[in-house]
Structure 1
Amino acid sequence: MATNMDGDKIDPITEKPIVSATVTSVNADSDPSALESDTAKPSRDLKQAIYAIVGGVALPCIPIIVVSAVLLYVIFKHRIVPREAKATTDNVTALIKEIRHQGGNAAYYVEYNPSTITTIASWTGRVIPYLSSSIMALVAFFAARHIVIKSKHGDHTQLPTPEQLTLLISLLGGSGFGPLKETALYRWGRKEKLVAPLPAAFAALGVITLLGLIIPIVDTWFGVATQPVTITQLYNTSTKAYHSYGRNLDPGTTDAAICPDGPGYQAGSGSSGQSWWWPCNLFTTIPHPANIFLQGAVAVADLQLYGTTNDMLSNYTGLLSSDSTQNQTMFFYADSRSSKTLDFKAQTLGISTQCIIATTSCGYIDTNETDYQAFKCSDGFGGDVSYCYPNVWPANASESGLGGCTTGIGYATDAQLSSAAPMVNFTDADGLSETEIQGFLQQNPTYFATWGIGFPALDSRLFLNGDAQVFPNSSSQATWILNCSSTVYDVTYTYVNGALHSFNATVAEPVWGAFFSAPFTWSWLGGLMPAKLSLENAAYFAGSKASTGAEMATLWAQEYSKAALQLSVGVFQPLTNDIEQIRNSTITVARIPLVPLYLLLGFKFIYVIVVILLAIGAYCFTHPAETEVVKAQLSVQGLAAAHFDQPDLVRKNVVQEVQSRLELAKNGGSSTSETPAGQPLKRAATEPAMGSAPAGEATEEPAKVGLMPTRAGTWKFVLLADGAWQSVKPIVQTLVLNEAKDGKFGAVGDAYAAWK
């Protein structure tokens, strides 16, 4: 085949023998010089090619990009981040079930309608299967370029047979699994190698079809896994809107100061000249011990008797210091207004008390002869269990002291109860000395002993399961002594989701020990009756609930901590929270699992990248200005229109029928005898080339389909049969007219009848 190569341009091809055959006779109308003078070079339409390429990219990519962008915008625009940790799944079966139904543990939480989100995501999944034809239109540029180049170079071994051209056109139509199945069956059924560009077209349609199948599957999984859930969301509050759930001392105003100098102040001195200290949680209107009262007694009563108040006590059990080895229970001031809707951090004060049973170690003696129950924990600390406080001043326990008490308490200087708190003079406003009373020890922790008679109130000589530390006195009443220590702490705690979340405690200044112990120190005074009742209530509760002396000591210690806080609550005021955040536990959101979401976006991204690469390759490597004309004919419609000048002709099996008619012609049929006027190409007679088959024997080669430019500047499909290019037009014309006579083409067939 003679060619004229001018760069990538293809000159008109005249009918000449190629490869192993030479033309021995050609119709006069097909003289090469005449053809070359009359035939125009194929038209170049770069603008139309660019339109085709841009359309092939835009139609599938723009919907995918837009829908994916809208989906991501909705997700990240309305995304919220829950603060609570999600549980992990260790069981393999449960993990698989979780992945299948929930898409795994990792997820976005979006305050948006989940149905709307899944609907947006499904838009591309629904249309992607219908976009393969647009993408295969880009592949058609490569196919057309291949056929043009091979036709130009005369490489007939790399050109498709009519059957393979039919398969190629079917693949480029992008109609899904049908063309793929037909091509695979043809390849394996006939054991015939597929020439380019069929393998590339097959692979391209396979990838596109596979992605078109995977994307809807992943999209379905995404829709199943995206579910509405109720979560908790936290919101920061304005600094000015902080609540006051902490507690600190109320300094009062200048005219009505309550605790202007802190927990107390220096008030006088004892008989030994020792200065003594007055707590601000007590007050007196007349300078006499009998007229000492609690500050804020109404607040005290409300807290003790569960009245209407914002004051509340909470407790924490844990290691309260770095050197602690055992958990301890602390009670601290809290606020009843705290709830699950507000998380906060606040400061307050707390007390932790520990007691041990010490009846025998304090040398308790019960004798009917003296009619008193003496104890002596040390040389400096002793008394009588029927007295309200240690009567070690004077040292003889049988002398002086306030008797007639069922409970008593006395503070000491150390944990071994080596020495009782010193007695001090109560001095009035005029400086006149009054009676001496027990003073306060400014130390933290504070150490003390407490005792009780008649708790538990059982008419039996076996108390608390026969505990040797709790036994009856001469009146058959349970009697016991406890050795205790109480520590005041500065507390900072966080309250999250209606529960205590974190807790930090440091030992407070020593003055706080005297402050909280003051109401108990003088509890025998009439004005401090709430303190006396608190001691009795603690003894009653512990004695009634405990089953052993050790358990009774623990329960009594907890009751003492609560009572100490309750009796002083009147001088405390709310303290603004350090930080806080609003908690909303009723938010319904869409749970979007990350695995199916990003798988879906990933496959769509691959889909878009494949299309864009195809478009870039079509523009850069297929010379689309010339190839676009050929590419347009790589379809059933294009094939028929190219040969009959009738764009409306549509037949699916044109090339297949051409092959069968060609075989008929080889066997002596007359299908190729009818050639329209003006058709220059005839079937050429051939003879063997040098070195080929002997004379008289035809060279059996399968017919191939190529392209050649026409005089009108277009392209024409031609058949390579017996070593020469042949026009397929006469064969197709005969086919159409014969079938038109049978009424198979209707009005279209009638139009071709007139053409004959």
Structure 2
Amino acid sequence: MDIKRKPVPNDHSGETTTPQQNSSHMTGKFKDIGLAFFLVSIPLFVFSLLLLGLVSHFRVSHGHVPYSNLDFPGSQDEAGVYYVNLGATRLIFIASWSSSLAPALVGFALTMFSFPIAHNYLQLTRERRNVDLLTPYQLSIVLRLFTGGSLGALWTWVKYLHTWRSRRQNQAPALKGTAILATLCTFLAALVFLADTWVHLTTKTVQMIIATPLSSGIPYSMGLVPSCSFGNLTGPTDALGNCTILEAVTNIFLQRSETSLQVLNNISDSMIALSYLDEYTYVAPPPTAELSLRDYTASTFGMETQCNAVSTQCNLEALDGASTPFFCSEAFQGDVSVMDEEEVYPACSPNCYPNWYLTYFTNSQRNENETGYGLLKGGGNPFYFGLATLVNKASDAIPLNSTEIVGPIHGGVVYVLECNSTVYDVEYDSVNGTITRFDTSMSNDSVANIFKGALGATTVGTDYLKQSASIAVFSESMQELCHKFAMSFNRATLSVGASTLQPNDAIVAQERSTKLVTRIPKAPLYTLVLANMLFVVLGIALAIMAIARSGGEVREIQARLSIEGLVADRFEGRRAKERVESIEDLFEEKYGQESTRIVIHNSAHGGYEYQKLL
């Protein structure tokens, strides 16, 4: 049921003429190929260059730690990772452009491939190789693929292969080639999507820690004050008069005692006594917000004390209510239950009181007492002392079950210790508040005598030591009691001796600063770039193939291998058979004529058919 062809107005003369058959060819092949090539290759190429350019331009590095001994976790670039001084959100957004665009490129890739398909199909037609030509249903699949290469079209092809297996005709080369390319393009689009997802999942904002060296004026080392740093101070305590001790008729005073009391009570803003590995005690700068951002190497002084319980060895016993005597040697004996100071003085130092005997010795055999009349006789390093004490006198319970503990009849807890202490010159590294290196070398005798004299000849640390001895009896074992008191003695000695110390410059120091950067692993980044470049290479290859196979009448066939070509052939009559310059020229409607209307109507065979409405 064809309609009559109406005349077409002549734009130049105003007259109406009927379109005449001409010898023109379908044009626009280079335009179509160029546009498809541009869309398939150029955007992804530009996106890849932009992404790599941003990473390269804004890339930052931890650099090198100024001092190798102050290295810290996170100070080096992680292998296989870029750090970028650009927001992670922005970088991920730019990276996501590829996965957003890639699925839309499948159709344009197939547009370029349609030229080689048309070229081959024209040859097959001329050679009358009918078995290699498309069946109607195969043609419908090809047209669907050329329309956009959607997953739906590929699914139709897959169903055709498998559900029509026993009935279908052999696949025409045109269908097979088109479907394979559509599958390849879809796979590449999926690869871009997966690579982009990988980038999304692994790219994150992290803190980059950068260390910069600090110049002088960083007072983290501890050294002796000038008055204590020259001369031989190994003699009796009175030799320390210019350094730490002020001897008066009625008392022995500690010079700069306010420093010692501040350190002992943890209120000093320049020094603190800290423990290391629960074995050593050393003097260091107190924690501050500024110090928490700094790493340093410093020199200072430290101590190690070891104590053993000798109550049974010294024959400690609760003799009667008013007497708990002990006898370790002629140099170390007494009765810890004596309540009269006169019974203690002057045979003991100022660190001897009723119920408290802290006695220093001149040698490791502990057979010579050096604490007569409140003045120490000097000595070397290490030095030795003994302690016999009655603590917690108001208590009638003994918390620690040990043969080295005695409970006097009138209450309290008594024990006897023998100890030795060593003073060290210490050099240590502090990184992020943690000691990473702690090297010790034994201090000379003068340094040891300074610290021993400050504590032994004065009463500044006595109350702290008494309290420590009282608390120590709540230990789980006698060994633990000894260790606790030893650590307390270290702290008391260094804190009281802090009056002889002053802050000096650290040996080296660095400051850690942090900034937020984007961490992007190399593997997903380059996988995304590679996936993009595969599309680029595919676009170049398809463009070359399309240009090489577009000569002669290929453009005519390629243009008609489309839904427009099929519809025009079915409904536009003679016009669809004419040579035109554009596929749109096959339709009467383009010329302003009243066009045929299409209906889907009942057929004489009981089904439905397309009909042209006159």
Same fold at TM > 0.5 = yes
Quick one: which of 43, 48, 59 aligns to 1:68?
48
Instruction: Find the residue that maps to 2:380 and give its secondary structure.
Output: coil
Letter in 2 for 1:300: S
Q: Is the 1:247–1:349 contact (alpha carbons within 8 Å) kept by the matching residues of 2?
A: no
2:406 is the alignment partner of 1:471: yes
Q: Provide the C-alpha distance between the structure 1 equivalents of 2:159 and 2:435, rounded to a whole number of angstroms.
A: 69
Residue 469 (structure 2) pairs with residue 539 (structure 1): yes
CA distance in 2, matches of 1:639, 1:549: 97
SS state of the match for residue 560, structure 1?
helix
Letter in 1 for 2:482: A
Q: Residue 573 of structure 1 aligns with which residue?
A: 502
Q: Render the CA deviation track for 1:386-416: whole Å, top value 9, x for unaligned.
A: 699xxxxxxxx9997248723233334555x
Q: Secondary structure at the match of 1:484?
A: strand
Equivalent residue letter for 1:204: L
Q: What is aligned with 2:443?
A: 509
* 1:439 aligned partner: 377
Q: Distance in 1 between matches of 2:558 and 2:222?
A: 89
Q: Which residue of 1 aligns with 2:270?
A: 310
Match of 2:103 among 93, 104, 129: 129
Quick check: 1:196 aligned with 2:147?
A: no
- The partner residue of 2:210 within 235, 248, 262 is 235
Instruction: Encode CA deviations 1:298-351: one digit per residue, 9 max, x unaligned.
Output: 211222234452322222226xxxxxxxxx354543323256841413323322
Counterpart Cα distance in 1 of 2:423 and 2:556? 92
Q: Indicate the residue corresponding to 1:482 in structure 2.
A: 417
- Inter-partner Cα distance in structure 2 for 1:165 and 1:465: 97
Map 1:311-390 to 2 at 5 A: 311-317=271-277, 328=279, 330-337=281-288, 341-347=292-298, 348-364=300-316, 373=325, 375-377=327-329, 381-385=331-335
Cross-structure match for 2:541: 613
Structure 1 residues 72 and 398, CA gap change in structure 2 (3 angstroms): closer
Tell me if structure 2 keeps the 8 A contact 1:333–1:350: no
User: What code does the residue aligned with 1:60 have?
Assistant: V
| Structure 1 residue 117 displacement after superposition | 3.3
1:635 aligned counterpart, secondary structure: helix
Q: Is the aligned partner of 1:529 residue 2:495?
A: no
- Is the Cα–Cα contact under 8 Å of residues 84 and 517 in structure 2 kept in the other structure? yes
Among 335, 359, 368, the alignment partner of 1:420 is: 368
Partner of 1:427: none
Paired residue type of 1:311? M
> CA 1:370 to 1:226, structure 2 compared with 1: closer, same or farther past 3 Å?
closer
Partners of 1:370 and 1:154 in 2: CA distance: 131
The answer (yes or no) to whether the contact 1:162–1:655 under 8 Å persists in 2 is: no
What does residue 95 of structure 1 align with? none
Q: From the CA coordinates, give the structure whose radius of gyration is larger.
A: 1
- What is the rounded CA distance, in whole Å, between the counterparts of 1:372 and 1:185 in structure 2? 103
Question: CA contact under 8 A between 2:271 and 2:283: conserved in structure 1?
Answer: no
| Separation in structure 2 between the aligned mates of residue 741 and residue 437 of structure 1, nearest angstrom | 126
Report % sequence identity. 18
CA contact (8 A) 2:316 2:325 kept: yes
Alpha-carbon separation, structure 1, partners of 2:587 and 2:290:
90
Compared CA separation, residues 535 and 436, structure 1 to 2 (3 A): closer
Q: Is the 8 A contact 1:421 1:441 kept in 2?
A: no
CA shift at 1:483, angstroms? 1.0
- Checking the alignment, whether the CA contact within 8 Å between 2:110 and 2:146 is kept in structure 1 is yes
Task: Give the whole-Å Cα distance in 1 for the aligned partners of 2:242 and 2:543.
Answer: 87
Letter in 1 for 2:185: I
**Which of 436, 456, 460 in structure 1 is aligned with 2:392?**
456
| RMSD, aligned CA | 5.2
- Structure 2 counterpart of 1:335, one-letter code: P
Question: Displacement, 1:197?
Answer: 3.3
Distance 1:269 1:124 in 2: 83
Asked whether the equivalents of residues 281 and 568 of structure 1 are also in contact (C-alpha less than 8 Å), the reply is no
Residues 467-495 of structure 1 show CA distances to partners (whole Å, capped at 9, x for unaligned) of 43233568766433211122334444454
- Classify 1:591/1:74 alpha carbon distance in 2 versus 1 (closer, same or farther; 3 Å): same
Task: Please state whether the residue corresponding to 1:194 is helix, strand or coil.
Answer: coil
Opposite residue 554 of structure 2, the aligned amino acid is V
Mapped to 2, the partners of 1:132 and 1:368 lie a distance apart of: 104
Q: SS at 1:354's partner residue? A: strand
Residue type at the aligned position of 2:376: Q
Letter in 2 for 1:258: S
- Write the distance in 2 (CA, Å) between the matches of 1:371 and 1:235: 66
CA distance in 2, matches of 1:164, 1:546: 91
Q: Residues 685-736 of structure 1: CA distance to partner in whole angstroms, max 9, x if unpaired? A: xxxxxxxxxxxxxxxxxxxxxxxxx9x9x999xxxxxxxxxxxxxxx999x9
Distance 1:601 1:473 in 2: 84
Q: Secondary structure at the match of 1:208?
A: helix
Name the residue aligned to 1:561.
Answer: 490
Summarize the Cα distance change of 1:616–1:538 in structure 2 as closer, same or farther, 3 Å threshold. same
Alignment partner of 1:236: what SS? strand
Which of 172, 182, 186 in structure 2 is aligned with 1:209?
A: 186
For residues 588-608 of structure 1, the C-alpha deviation after alignment (integer angstroms, 9 at most, x for no partner) is 666667776565444334333
Change in Cα spacing, 1:340 to 1:602, as seen in structure 2 (3 Å) is: farther
Structure 1 residue 456: deviation in Å?
2.4
Residue 385 (structure 2) pairs with residue 405 (structure 1)? no
Counterpart code for 1:266: N
C-alpha distance in structure 2 between counterparts of 1:549 and 1:62, whole Å: 81
Amino acid paired to 2:391 = F
Pairing partner for 1:500 from 430, 434, 442 = 434
Cα 1:193/1:520, change in 2 over 3 Å = same
Are residues 372 and 574 of structure 1, via their aligned partners in 2, closer, same or farther at CA, if it must alter by over 3 Å? same
User: Residue by residue, what CA displacement relative to the aligned partner does 1:195-243 show, whole Å, maximum 9, x if unpaired?
Assistant: 32331121101221343355446646755x36866x5432223422774
Deviation at 1:74, TM superposition (A): 4.3
CA separation of 1:227 and 1:617: change in aligned 2, threshold 3 A:
closer
The alignment partner of 1:120 has SS state of: helix
Q: 1:195 to 1:268 in 2, by over 3 A?
A: closer
In the alignment, structure 1 segments of 5+ residues that lack a partner are 1-38, 86-105, 252-256, 319-327, 389-396, 425-434, 641-649, 659-670, 680-709, 717-731, 746-752
Distance 1:715 1:742 in 2: 20
Is this contact kept in 2: 1:374–1:383, CA < 8 A?
Answer: yes
Equivalent residue, structure 2, for 1:120: 94
Q: What CA distance in whole angstroms lies between the structure 2 residues aligned with 1:61 and 1:488?
A: 75
Within 5 Å, give how 1:563-712 maps onto structure 2: 563-577=492-506, 578-584=508-514, 600-618=528-546, 622=548, 626=551, 630-631=554-555, 633-636=557-560, 650-654=564-568
Contact 1:166 1:653 in 2 (8 A): no
How many corresponding residue pairs?
550
Q: Which of 242, 245, 266 in structure 1 is aligned with 2:232?
A: 266
Q: CA deviation at 1:517?
A: 1.5
Aligned 8 A contact 2:559 2:565 in 1: no
Whole-angstrom CA distance in 1 between matches of 2:368 and 2:337? 15
One-letter code aligned to 2:385:
F
User: What's the secondary structure of 1:557's corresponding residue?
Assistant: helix
Q: Measure, in 1, the Cα distance between the counterparts of 2:235 and 2:229.
A: 21
Q: 2: CA distance between counterparts of 1:490 and 1:268?
A: 17
The residue number in structure 2 matching 1:36 is none
Q: Helix, strand or coil: the match of 1:441?
A: coil
Is 1:57 the counterpart of 2:37? The answer is: yes
Confirm or deny: 8 A CA contact 2:192 2:531 kept in the other structure.
yes
CA distance in structure 2 between the aligned counterparts of 1:436 and 1:676, rounded to whole angstroms: 126
Q: What's the secondary structure of 1:502's corresponding residue?
A: strand
